[in-house]
Amino acid sequence: MGSSEYSVVAEGLRKRYGDKVALDGLDLQVRRGTVCGLLGPNGAGKTTSVRILATLLRADGGRAEVGGVDVRARPDLVRRRIGLTGQNAAVDEILSARQNLRMFARLFHLDHATARRRTEELLEQFDLTESADKQVKGFSGGMRRRLDLAASMILAPEVLFLDEPTTGLDPRGRSEVWDAVRALTAEGTTVLLTTHYLDEADKLSDRIAVIDQGRNITEDTPAGLKRAVGGDRLEVVVSDPSDVPLVVRTMARVARGVGPETDEAELRVHAPVDDGVAALTAVAKQLEEAGVSVADIGLRRPTLDEVFLRLTGGRADEPATTPATTEDAAGERSKERIV
């Protein structure tokens, strides 16, 4: 089943909570040293998948390997190869950052000398050295999350599971966490990320798997998913309403099988095109020669939000407002830190 090429492999995972089917034959492969974004509407099975792969929950059917180890047969070995950061930070607010990391290191059964050394390495790696001896209760959201990630990396795990790691953070805090994740993958850690922030998945993920109703819908790179939805669109905004008909005729020559559409209120004309750069160049030249006053012209690519809504039938993934999720309500809430 497994392959040295992949850190995470799942085949036909199934899980039911009473009458609710959480996973219905989920397949997943994550290459070593990459970030895989796991997207889906609320209740699609994202958190259940992570908990099964992290040995916090037993699947009803199917198989899974993490780090080349079967999660059902040897969960103890799997736990030595993974880290998990859940939706809520697991650090102690009364302790300092240094004390938190040493505590977790001891919980992982490291001796005193190794615990001290690993703590100092992580403080530097996650840019927490200057605040190492301050109480965590005074940390910003981004700093707490970075400390939480550091605690997950005590044993330098091969695979790190991140379950909505930036929920509730402001843009600066999210950016700090993104930088930390990029640093981890640069050093070879494999990351499986669940998130309801689609821009987060877009920026961090090498590949994205979209699931719905416990099944895979599709998997590709962020750019590949966007191309599949519709490719480039050429948009032209003019200053004079009388120029709109000419722009429509000009763009019709380069449109990809669909006539240009117009937004009369914004004086905007847009159409799908195959070779975006060539179409942009041709249209800009022709409009300039015709003396059309162009207020704006450019290529617009689909966003990951548009991809998500198209694939899941418009059922957007809403930000979590409480620690519990739909899946938590169906099953029991598992602890977020593996020790």
pLDDT at 314: 58
Q: Which two tokens stand for residue 7?
A: 């850190």
- The kind and range of the H/E element at 98 are helix 97-107
pLDDT in tens for each of the 339 residues of the chain?
555 799 999 999 999 999 999 999 999 999 999 999 999 988 899 989 999 999 999 999 999 999 999 999 999 999 989 988 877 778 899 999 999 999 999 988 899 999 999 999 999 988 899 999 999 999 988 888 889 888 888 888 899 999 888 887 788 888 888 888 898 899 899 999 998 888 899 999 999 999 999 999 999 999 888 877 767 889 999 999 999 999 999 999 888 777 898 998 899 998 888 888 999 999 999 999 999 999 999 988 878 887 888 888 755 444 433 333 334 433 333 344 554
Predicted local distance difference test score (pLDDT) of residue 300:
85
Instruction: Report the distance separating Cα 211 and Cα 10, nearest Å.
Output: 13
pLDDT of residue 233: 84
Token couple for 54: 């992290």
pLDDT for 135 equals 94
CATH topology of domain 6-226+311-317: Rossmann fold (3.40.50)
Third-level CATH fold of 232-300:
Alpha-Beta Plaits (3.30.70)
Q: Which residue is associated with the tokens 């089943």?
A: 1
Residues of the chain with CATH 3.40.50.300: 6-226+311-317
Residue 295 backbone phi and psi in degrees, to 5? -85, -30
E strands present in 189-231? 190-194, 207-212, 215-220
CATH 3.30.70.100 residue window(s) in the chain: 232-300
Q: Are strands 233-238 and 294-300 parallel, antiparallel or unpaired?
A: antiparallel
Distance (Å, rounded) from C-alpha 174 to C-alpha 182? 12
Backbone phi, then psi, for 191, in 5-degree steps?
-125, 130
In the block, tokens 């070995």 appear at: 77
Cα separation, 123 vs 107, whole angstroms: 18
* Residue 67 contacts residue 4 (beta carbons within 8 Å): no
* pLDDT value of position 3: 58
pLDDT of residue 91: 87
- CA-based angle 289:294:299, to the nearest 5? 100
What is the per-residue DSSP string for 107-158?
HTT--HHHHHHHHHHHHHHTT-GGGTTSBGGGS-HHHHHHHHHHHHTTT--S
